Amino acid sequence: MAEIGVIILAAGQGTRMKSDLPKVLHRIGGKPLFLYVLETAKLLQPRRVAIVIGHGADAVRHAYSGAEVTWVTQEKQLGTGHAVLSAKHNFAEFPGDLLILSGDVPLISEPTLRTMVARHREEKAAMTLMTAVLAEPRGYGRILRDGQGAIKATVEEKDATEEQRRIQEVNAGAYVAQRDFLFKTLEQVKNDNRQGEYYLPDIVGIGLGDGRKITTVEVGDPREMMGINTREELARMEKTLRERINKRWMDAGVTLKDPDTTYIEDGVTIGRDTIIGPNTQLCGRTIVGERCQIDGSAYVMDSEIGSEVHLLFSVVLMSSRVEQGARIGPFAHLRPGTSLAANVHIGNFVETKEAKIGEGTKANHLTYLGDCTIGRDSNIGAGTITCNYDGFAKYKTQIGDRVQVGSDTTLVAPVCLGDDTYVATASTVRHDVPAGALVYNERQERVREGWTEKKRNKMKGTKK
């Protein structure tokens, strides 16, 4: 494909979103809207990409860290035509055609864009615009055609007559244009319309009036050109995207027991023969291995999960790493910095944070493991707590290999339990324990026979 430049319009506030956030920063599939457009545009290997920003410009700019785009500021949002014009100087000597996309139309696909560019070039058109036929065209600009079906002009919904509003063919908001035609014609656009804005698609009527050739390409699947102007549309788009992502993973060999309640964000990858139960959210940069089983109600963010891992019902994993064969849950919470080696078991009501746990170690019940490293084949009894915080600073706990920590143990960090140590149940460990040692707290157990009955009798006298 010959040289192409891209202009992405992302300066608008998105009034209809009723939000403090610029519209293009609203997210679907966990990713800001305009990044979808940018990533798709980049697949065409454009020579230059300019993004027009204005409302919340800094925030939008910070949402993308790549270097290969030019940010253009449109000080006042006077309309889409004005927005494109503000990028004029960035394409002053640009040799190719320009592709113009909206930052709020995230699902537009690469093949669709390629088709549009190819048609534009075949037809040697001055401009080509993408259209779609919608059952519910409300909110979009309409395409006006003459008796022969040739395009005459476009009209925005707000400026349209009743009759025009019944037209179902709409302007999809994606265009390819010859550079000179585009910028010259934009200079002639006026803002004498209901919104007082300079409309980019007005150049269709002007161009045709000047005898220039304008073509249209109808998009195959109208869902991909849906724009987002309201929260309702955002939710609908999220659903469309989710269906697309879920289908992709099912096609790749992942079982989703209930795709309707499975939420897999755009940046996630999943290995084949993994089985995912209902109400699962896989977010951020999460990687799930092969043959894993996720029972359901799992929330996994930015985590790396090896193969054959079993996440039992209702677990939360945040920025954690879990190796092959580990078993987690039900009701477990792995907080950032958790790293579990192969075959570790983390059971009900266990919380971990900055915890490195060695192969085969188990912490099966009611435990807090924070700021600690634990060796392999150790067993952490029910109710064990690493006391890592004294109200001022955090301290580390170190536990060796093959350590037996009895139930109801408090490990007062900083503290180190050597390999093969044995902690008696209900111990408070404040000092390092050398390898192979037993540690217990001196405490006498006393039994008073008949105590309960005596107590009850005594209490009877006092009770009304």
**Nearer to Ca ion by C-beta: 227 or 296?**
227
**Nearer to ligand UD1 by C-beta: 82 or 242?**
82
Q: How far is the CB of 100 from ligand UD1 (least distance, A)?
A: 9
What is d(CA 180, CA 393) in angstroms, rounded to the nearest whole number?
A: 64
Q: Contact 439/424 with Cβ under 8 angstroms?
A: yes
Kindly state the tokens that stand for 414.
């900083």
| CA-closest candidate to residue 285, choices 319, 239, 253 | 319
The footprint of ligand UD1 on this chain (CB under 6 A) covers a number of residues equal to 30
Site residues for ligand UD1, 400-419, by CB under 6 A, read none
Q: Are strands 127-133 and 169-178 parallel, antiparallel or unpaired?
A: antiparallel
Interaction between residue 85 and ligand UD1 (CB under 6 A): no
Interaction between residue 201 and ligand UD1 (CB under 6 A): yes
Site string for ligand UD1, 363-402 (x = CB under 6 A): ----------------------------------------
109 binds, among Ca ion, ligand UD1, none (CB under 5 to 8 A by kind): none
For residue 391, give the 3-state DSSP assignment: coil
Interaction between residue 156 and Ca ion (CB under 5 A): no
Q: How far is the CB of 292 from ligand UD1 (least distance, A)?
A: 39
Interaction between residue 103 and ligand UD1 (CB under 6 A): yes
Interaction between residue 5 and Ca ion (CB under 5 A): no
Interaction between residue 265 and Ca ion (CB under 5 A): no
Residue 20 buriedness (CB in 10 A; 0-12 / 13-18 / 19+): exposed
Site residues for Ca ion, 94-153, by CB under 5 A, read 104
57 binds, among ligand UD1, Ca ion, none (CB under 5 to 8 A by kind): none
Which of the following is catalytic: 62, 89, 365, 431? Answer: 365
Q: How far is the CB of 150 from ligand UD1 (least distance, A)?
A: 18
What is d(CA 353, CA 339) in angstroms, rounded to the nearest whole number?
A: 9
Site string for Ca ion, 173-212 (x = CB under 5 A): ----------------------------------------
Residue 369, phi then psi, degrees to nearest 5:
-120, 100
Site string for ligand UD1, 47-76 (x = CB under 6 A): -----x---------------------x--
Site string for Ca ion, 222-241 (x = CB under 5 A): -----x-x------------
Interaction between residue 9 and ligand UD1 (CB under 6 A): yes
Among 96, 106, 173, 406, binds ligand UD1 (CB under 6 A): 173
Site string for Ca ion, 324-363 (x = CB under 5 A): ----------------------------------------
317: amino acid identity, one letter: L
Residue 101, phi then psi, degrees to nearest 5:
-130, 155
74 binds, among ligand UD1, Ca ion, none (CB under 5 to 8 A by kind): ligand UD1
Three-state SS for 366-435 is EEEEEEEEECCCCEECCCCEEECECCCCECCEEECCCCEECCCCEEECCEEECCCCEECCCCEECCCECC
Q: How far is the CB of 103 from Ca ion (least distance, A)?
A: 9
416 half-sphere exposure, CB direction, 13 A CA radius: 5
Residues 6+ apart with CB under 8 A from 71: 50, 51, 53, 57, 61
What is d(CA 200, CA 79) in angstroms, rounded to the nearest whole number?
A: 7
Interaction between residue 26 and ligand UD1 (CB under 6 A): no
What is d(CA 329, CA 306) in angstroms, rounded to the nearest whole number?
A: 16
- Please, which contacts does 295-298 make with residues 24 or more away whose CB atoms are closer than 8 Å? 295/329, 295/330, 296/257, 298/329
Q: Contact 51/35 with Cβ under 8 angstroms?
A: no
Interaction between residue 80 and ligand UD1 (CB under 6 A): yes
**Nearer to ligand UD1 by C-beta: 228 or 382?**
228
What is d(CA 381, CA 402) in angstroms, rounded to the nearest whole number?
A: 13
What is d(CA 1, CA 403) in angstroms, rounded to the nearest whole number?
A: 64
- Active-site residue, 365 included: yes
What residues act catalytically? 365
Given the rule CB under 5 A, which residues bind Ca ion?
104, 227, 229
List residues binding ligand UD1 (CB under 6 A): 9-12, 24, 52, 74, 77-80, 82-83, 102-105, 140-141, 154, 156, 170-173, 199-201, 227, 229
